[in-house]
Homo-oligomer: A and B are copies of this chain.
Amino acid sequence: MAPPPFYAIISGVGSGTGASLARLFARQSYAVVLLSRKPSSYEPFVAEITAAGGTAIGISADAADPAAVDAAFERIARELPDSKLAAAVYNGHAGMARKPFLEMKLEELETSLKTTANGLFIFAQKTIPLLLASVPSSPHPPTLLVTGATASVRGSAFFSTFAAGKFAQRALTQSLAREFGPKGVHVALAVIDGGIDTPWGKDRVVNNGVEDGKISPDAIAESYWHLHTQPRSCFTQELDIRPYVEKW
């Protein structure tokens, strides 16, 4: 069977959001490409999607390493030669250091900026030309979606380096949205303001452990899908997402 004519790429799988996105885009008949540093982060989802009759490719690459990202896109071109890119999600999470400023190392700032700003920059430079090429044929306006955080819009005490990276990332999404929206590519930021209910975070208590006090990654994926399916006359550039009990 031929692979689907369109694919979605998700950079940063392993977190609950990436896996939920992969499943949802696959259910919607897109091939999915999962990028992650470690194969163990995407292997289970590639297997699951393939077993369900979908098309999934996992590629290990450091999103902040231009050569690794180049190689990843070369491999995609080989493995999905007849598929076009319809949706690109930058879901890389920065190591979120919480620390007094005077204990922060410059390396922590650099790591934060690399995984958020540099990583998105590299990812956008690879995906935007492909998204532009899909404008005439994509079932929905080709979309670049970015996962933000509370720190995208608020520089809290002790989160100096994390906020620096997330603010920088938000600046990039705004600039790209303004430049490429008129060309038919939809660029949007989701400001995730709360803990996500991931398997690996099961024991982390937020909002006093109240039911639904963590964000469902499947629900985040639904919101991303909604953003992707907005027609070009109705683009959302930014939305916030938080659990009903979150203080803000």
| Residue ranges of A at the interface with B (Cβ–Cβ < 8 Å) | 66, 100-102, 104, 106, 109-110, 113, 117-118, 121-122, 124-125, 128-129, 141, 151, 154-161, 163-182, 184, 186, 197, 212-216, 219-220, 222-223, 226, 229-246, 248
In contact, A102 and B129 (Cβ under 8 angstroms): yes
**A125 nearest CB neighbor, chain B only:** B102
When distances are taken between beta carbons in the complex, the residues of chain B under 8 Å from A117 are 109, 113, 164, 168
In contact, A222 and B230 (Cβ under 8 angstroms): yes
Alpha-carbon distance A152/B37, docked complex (angstroms): 31
Contact of A197 among B106, B156, B178, B233 (CB under 8 A): B233
| Interface of A: prevailing SS | helix
Alpha-carbon distance A248/B154, docked complex (angstroms): 10
Alpha-carbon distance A234/B213, docked complex (angstroms): 9
Contact of A235 among B155, B169, B230, B242 (CB under 8 A): B242
In contact, A155 and B175 (Cβ under 8 angstroms): yes
Alpha-carbon distance A219/B226, docked complex (angstroms): 11
Alpha-carbon distance A30/B177, docked complex (angstroms): 35
**A160 nearest CB neighbor, chain B only:** B175
When distances are taken between beta carbons in the complex, the residues of chain B under 8 Å from A122 are 106
Considering residues A121, A215, A219, A241, which has the most beta carbons from chain B within 10 angstroms of its beta carbon?
A: A121
**A124 nearest CB neighbor, chain B only:** B101
Q: How many copies does the complex hold?
A: 4
Q: List 19 A-B contacts (CB under 8 A).
A: A101-B128, A101-B176, A106-B122, A109-B121, A117-B164, A117-B168, A155-B173, A156-B175, A167-B168, A167-B170, A181-B244, A181-B246, A184-B244, A212-B232, A213-B233, A219-B231, A223-B234, A232-B243, A239-B239
In contact, A178 and B155 (Cβ under 8 angstroms): yes
When distances are taken between beta carbons in the complex, the residues of chain B under 8 Å from A230 are 219, 222-223
A174, chain B: closest CB distance, angstroms: 3
In contact, A157 and B184 (Cβ under 8 angstroms): no
Alpha-carbon distance A17/B231, docked complex (angstroms): 15
When distances are taken between beta carbons in the complex, the residues of chain B under 8 Å from A170 are 155, 167
Alpha-carbon distance A243/B236, docked complex (angstroms): 9
A247, chain B: closest CB distance, angstroms: 8
Given contacts A186-B244, A222-B234, A238-B240, 8 further A-B contacts (CB under 8 A): A101-B175, A106-B122, A106-B125, A167-B167, A168-B171, A215-B233, A232-B244, A237-B240
